[in-house]
Structure 1
Amino acid sequence: MPQGTPTPWSYFLIRLLFKFVLKIFYGTIVVEGIENIPQTGLPCVVCANHTNSLTDALLLVTAIPSRKRNMLRLTAKSTQFGKKTLTSWLIESAGTVPIKRRKDFAEGSADNTDVMAKLIEALEQGDAVCLFPEGASRYHPTIAPLKTGVARIVSDTLSRNRDNPDFEISILTCSVTYMHRQHFRSDVLVTFNPPFRFRPRDNPELLAPVNYDHIRLVTAQMHRQIANGTFDAPTWDLIRTARTATPLYAPLGTTMSLGDYVRVTRTFLEAFKAERIPSDASSETDSDPAETTEIVRLKTDLRVCALSFVSIRTLYSSMTRQAYQATLFRLKIRDDRIRRPLPRPIILYRIFLRLSWAAFLSSISLAGLVLWTPVALTTFYAVHNFKKTGPVWDTWDEIAQYKLVYGLVSGVCVWLGMITLTLPFAPITAVAVPILMWMSLRWFEDAVSAFRAFLALVRLLLVPPATLAQLRAAREDLHARVLDLAVHGLGLPEDPETYFVENGEKQKGRVTGRWMGRAKYFSVRRRRKRDWNETLRLYEQFDYPSDDVQT
């Protein structure tokens, strides 16, 4: 069996550096399906949805354990090569292959024939090659129609090895879901799906000369598998509404993993999407094969739904237009505060408790926050200037990349600067500074969470009792309809708070039991999260652009 290309030293460096940086930038990175990753020496094309520019590639590099693959050969747009920047050096030194995009070159000059030949040779040596079949990073609510390049590479590789009965090549799709792709201390779910495996003797339809319909079929299967593991919708409004339905169904404090949260939200999303499909949509003869397949699947799945499309449409309209959600947004109160009403003496007691805790944590974080200040200012300035270079749909997918790169550079400068200033104690400083910065970040994150709860309680105290009563009645009606859809229409468990404790995914990011929950709150490695929508902000984040923005 091939052993794969030896791992360059720069790849080890990049993987180590950005594994560290990604763990700081994102609060929780949950990786599912590691068992689906083929071992080193087995040719493999890794494909994922592409929403976050270079960050997507770095995330895949760090998510694949070295015990499974010694390296992941990356590809990147050719315009990122040959520049005197840190990003360009990182890309080139890691053995990344440049891909020419047609929109970056004059018509007819984007020839990738030699590049494709190199990728096929790498696969024959047992490498794993990373490709993003959407063709470009894009900040859109839906996954773009996939290019057929991956299926064509598999077909060409199989054709070149048609006389080897044991030759096997896999397509490993990956679904990446960012809760907030560009916000500090947000969360990410990386799901490796079961691979598609191909052999010359099992897949003669992919051997040259190949009927292009088979290429399109493989591409459609890839599209469906990637979309099934993440949020994929024609509008941002559908995603926003589905994410609003999830906490109504599984309220704050439900001990569900990030994977469970994404799957529940996606279940609501699919119901809202299917409600919008015209009855004759599947009869269109000129539609895209992947799109047609998805339409037929959605219509078939929803036939078993006990609720009618009319009921789903009414619920969707209520959630998007009803005064309940608008009032919560205006008052800046969370749904959980309405679900569990608190007596005013308890609210006052908790206000004192949260403010005291926030003040204590902030005070012990001050020393470390001084070290974080240059990093925060540098990244803020870089991102602020970058946003001026284009519209939201052309810049938001690269914000996280800028924050990661500039945060890494400025953080290293702070570290080296502190070592220089304390030169006689350099060995101690070299270790103490990263520890201090990490622990101050942990403490400050808890301080922000406590102060956010303090502000919510103060706002709750100022709401007139009559308004609270109206909100509670509106919530009970909306919750009953969401639960009816979830249980009787979508097959979700009736009691999510109990179900996910007993049957939920037991993985990183999940807290079970009162003692473990409290212990995780003070964990050195990560803080316990009760809400997967949480970021290092004092307010809720649903920062999707308007659907009428040009895309």
Structure 2
Amino acid sequence: MPNGSPTPWSYFFVRLLFRFVLKIFYGTIVVENAHVIPPKGKPCIVCANHSNSLTDALLLVTAIPSRARNLLRLTAKSTQFGKKTFTSWLIESAGTVPIKRRKDFPDGEADNTPVMLKLMEALENGDAVCLFPEGMSRYHPTIAPLKTGVARLVSDVLTRNRHNPDFEIFVQTCSITYMHRQHFRSDVLVTFHSPMRFTPKDNPELLAPIDYDRIRALTARMHQEISSGTLDAPSWRTIRNAKLAARIYAPLGTTMSLGEYVRAVRTFLEAFKLAERPVNESGSEGEIVNKEGVAREDVRIQQLGNDLKEYQDQLAYWGIKDDRIRRPLPTHIIIYRLIVRLSWSVFLLTISIPGLLLWLPVFLTTFVAVSRFKRTGPIWDTWDEIAQYKLIYGLMSGLGVWSGSMLLTLPIAPLTAVFVPAAMWMSLRWLEDAISAFRAVAVLTRLLRMGQARLWELHALRARLHERVMDLAVNTLGLPPDPEHYFAQSGGKEKGRVRGRWASKAKYFSVRRRRKRDWNETLRLYDQVDYPEDED
């Protein structure tokens, strides 16, 4: 049995580099079900949704344990190869295979036959190959219709090995969910699904000559599995409503695991999507009666979505979170907490200043680079590459700061080589806490400005929404009736999750990562709840 291609030294280095930059950029990366990945030597095609350009590939390379696979052979658009840029070198060093896209070759020269042959040979050698069936990265709330290339590749490999009925090839589907894909210190969920196994003996329908309906059926199955683990919606508004409904239903913050949170949001998301679908009135009398009942339920869910939007609009107008409405604070407690949070934020910001001077060139470089890049095209065609730009420019400017610091302190350069990264990391940790405390100051100030009367009006509105959300969750969607107990107790010690009051206090001072109250948090002075179409 083949053992797969050996891991080249450059891949070791590139994977280590990927892990480093991703750990800095994203606050928490949670990987689920890595144990289901087919082991070394098993031909495997890894397929995932594609919403964040090169960053998606970096995540998969680091998410797949090295003990499971020697390497993950990537693919990328051919236009990124052969350039004298750091990105081009990075892609080529990772053993990436160039794919020609029709949109890049309008003259019809997008022939990928040699590339597909190379991929088939790699699979027959027991390698894992990464393909993004959407065909291109895009900043949209929905997954694009999948191309049939992966299914055709499976068919071609099985046909080439039809003489060996026990030859097996796996399709490993994966879902990637970014809380905010382009924001510094946001969180990411990577979920691997049970792999699909194919052999010439068990799947003769995939051997040539093949009915193309079989290819389409396999592609549809892949689409269903990938979308089942992430947020796939027709509009940003639907995602916004589903996230608010999930927070009202289970206001647990990070005491709920990231995976459970995403699945709860997705459950509400599917309900809102179904309610918006067109209902066909044709059919028998019994079917029509049933459809009328479904239509009434759809109208009820649509109205809930509209009311959730209005409530979220009010929260956005006042610049506050739902949790502040769920548990209104009296004026004297607000003033007390405001003083405490302000003092704490000033203290943390003060001790962060030396390290922030080292971060300043990094922040300025990435800000200028991303600002210029955003002006090169519309949101839907550029925002999927923002994280990639931040990662690359942040890494290069960070290495420049580190190298420059050692040059300026040559007599003690060995000490500087360790001290500078440590100082930058600690200042980043303190800055995160300082900004979190300052956000609390801003919110508490807005609560004072709102006044108790308006606060309790919103609280009454939320109470009515909570009753309707719970009715939908429990009686229609089948979610647990006691979410605060169920989700707090389910699961285990997942990365980034807060379990118990002691862990809550300890994680606040943890060097590894900051304790977050909400998976929505990023390193920003405000909470991001709106989406591109709301910003025009």
Per the normalisation by structure 2, the TM-score is 0.96
Deviation at residue 279 of structure 1 after TM alignment: 2.2
Match of 1:236 in 2: 236
**Equivalent in the alignment of 2:17:** 17
Aligned position for 2:156: 156
Report what 2:313 is aligned to: 326
Note the C-alpha offset of 1:543: 4.1
| 3-state DSSP of counterpart to 2:35 | helix
Letter in 2 for 1:468: L
Q: Is the 8 A contact 2:253 2:519 kept in 1?
A: no
Distance 1:136 1:510, change over 3 A: same
Moved more, 363-372 or 113-122: 363-372
The residue type equivalent to 2:396 in the other structure is V
- Equivalence for 2:506: 519
Are residues 1:308 and 2:314 paired? Answer: no
Report the equivalent of 1:289.
Answer: none
Question: Percent of pairs identical after alignment?
Answer: 69
Q: Distance in 2 between matches of 1:252 and 1:193?
A: 26
Aligned to 2:287: none
Query: How many angstroms apart in 2 are the aligned matches of 1:123 and 1:75?
Result: 14
SS in 1 for 2:129: strand
In 1, the alpha carbon distance for the partners of 2:457 and 2:95 equals 61
* Corresponding residue of 1:410: 397
Instruction: Establish whether residue 388 from structure 1 lines up as the match of residue 388 from structure 2.
Output: no
Q: Deviations over 1:379-402 (max 9, x none)?
A: 001101111111111100000000
Give SS of 2:210's match. coil
Q: Write the distance in 2 (CA, Å) between the matches of 1:132 and 1:543.
A: 27
Provide, for residues 225-273 of structure 1, a one-character-per-residue CA deviation record: whole Å limited to 9, x for no partner.
0000001111111111111211111125461011011000000000000
> Is the 8 Å Cα contact of residues 330 and 452 (structure 2) preserved in structure 1?
no
CA distance in 2, matches of 1:281, 1:428: 75
**3-state DSSP class of the match of 1:546?**
helix
When the two chains are superposed, the root-mean-square deviation of aligned CA atoms in Å is: 2.0
SS in 2 for 1:308: helix
Quote the Cα distance in structure 2 between the aligned partners of 1:348 and 1:282: 61
Q: Does 1:481 align with 2:471?
A: no
Q: Tell me which amino acid in the other structure corresponds to 2:256.
A: M
TM-fit CA distance, 1:465: 2.3
Assess, with a 3 A threshold, how the Cα gap between structure 1 residues 505 and 264 changes in structure 2: closer, same or farther: farther
What residue number does 2:78 align with? 78
Q: Could you tell me whether the CA contact under 8 Å between 1:307 and 1:488 is conserved in 2?
A: no
State the 1:547 CA deviation.
Answer: 7.8
Q: Which residue of 2 aligns with 1:65?
A: 65
User: Kindly tell me: are residues 409 and 271 of structure 1, through their superposed partners in 2, closer, same or farther at Cα, counting changes over 3 Å?
Assistant: same
> For 2:206 and 2:96, how far apart are their aligned partners in 1?
27
Match of 2:127 in 1: 127
Residue identity opposite 1:242 in structure 2: A
Query: What amino acid maps onto 1:447 in structure 2?
Result: A
* Aligned-pair CA distance for 1:504: 3.4
Aligned to 1:257: 257
Give the length in aligned residue pairs. 530
Q: CA contact under 8 A between 2:328 and 2:456: conserved in structure 1?
A: no
Which amino acid counterpart does residue 492 of structure 1 have in structure 2? Answer: L
Which residue is 1:167 aligned to? Answer: 167
Is this contact kept in 1: 2:240–2:530, CA < 8 A? no
Deviation string 1:488-517 (CA, Å, 9 cap, x unpaired) is 111112222211121135411211111011
Q: Secondary structure at the match of 2:230?
A: coil
3-state SS of 2:532 partner: coil
Please say if residues 162 and 207 of structure 2, whose CA atoms lie closer than 8 Å, have aligned partners that are also in contact: yes
- The residue identity in structure 1 corresponding to 2:455 is L
Counterpart CA distance in 2 for 1:154 and 1:66 is 24
Q: 1:105 to 1:254 in 2, by over 3 A?
A: closer
Hey, what's the Cα distance between the residues in 2 that align with 1:427 and 1:238?
53
CA change 1:451–1:57 in 2 (3 A) is same
- Offset of residue 282 of structure 1: 11
Q: Secondary structure at the match of 2:494?
A: coil
Whole-angstrom CA distance in 2 between matches of 1:145 and 1:547:
25
1:336 & 1:326 partners in 2: Cα distance?
A: 15
Q: In structure 2, give the amino acid aligned to 1:310.
A: V
Question: Contact 2:252–2:488 (CA<8 Å) still a contact in 1?
Answer: no
Q: Give the SS at the match of 2:175.
A: strand
CA–CA separation in structure 1 for the residues paired with 2:516 and 2:46: 30
Partner of 2:143: 143
Q: State the match for 1:29 in structure 2.
A: 29
Query: How far apart are residue 542 of structure 1 and its match?
Result: 2.5
- Following the alignment from structure 2 to structure 1, what is the Cα–Cα distance between the partners of residues 217 and 18? 36
CA 1:548–1:458 in structure 2 vs 1: closer, same or farther (change >3 Å)? closer
Preserved contact between residue 152 and residue 215 of structure 1 (Cα < 8 Å): yes
Residue 408 of structure 2 aligns with which residue? 421
Letter paired with 1:201: K
Aligned-partner residue type, residue 306 of structure 2: S
Q: Distance in 2 between matches of 1:110 and 1:403?
A: 30
Contact 1:32 1:192 in 2 (8 A): yes
> Which deviations, in whole Å up to 9, do the C-alpha atoms of 1:28-84 show, x marking residues without a partner?
000001011111110000010000000100110011110111100000000001111
Aligned mates of 1:206, 1:376 — CA distance in 2: 52
SS at match of 2:255: coil
TM-score normalised by structure 1 residue count: 0.93
Identify the residue that residue 418 of structure 2 maps to in structure 1: 431
Q: Does the CA-based 8 Å contact 1:254-1:500 persist in structure 2?
A: no
Query: What is the one-letter code of the residue matched to 2:148?
Result: T
Map of 2:527 onto structure 1: 540
Task: Give the Cα–Cα distance (whole angstroms) in 2 for the partners of residues 209 and 86 of structure 1.
Answer: 44
Q: Are residues 282 and 434 of structure 1, via their aligned partners in 2, closer, same or farther at CA, if it must alter by over 3 Å?
A: farther
Q: Indicate if the aligned counterparts of 2:30 and 2:188 stay in contact, CA closer than 8 A.
A: yes
Matches within 5 A, 1:342-491: 342-491=329-478
Cα distance change of structure 1 residues 305 and 22 upon mapping to structure 2, 3 Å threshold: farther
CA distance in 1, matches of 2:368, 2:281: 48
Q: Which of structure 1's runs of 4+ aligned residues deviate more than 6 A?
A: 302-307
Per-residue deviation, 1:325: 2.5
Does the CA-based 8 Å contact 1:235-1:547 persist in structure 2?
Answer: no
Looking at structure 1, the residues matched to 38 and 461 of structure 2 have their Cα atoms a distance apart, in angstroms, of 51
Q: How far apart are 1:306 and its partner, in Å? A: 13
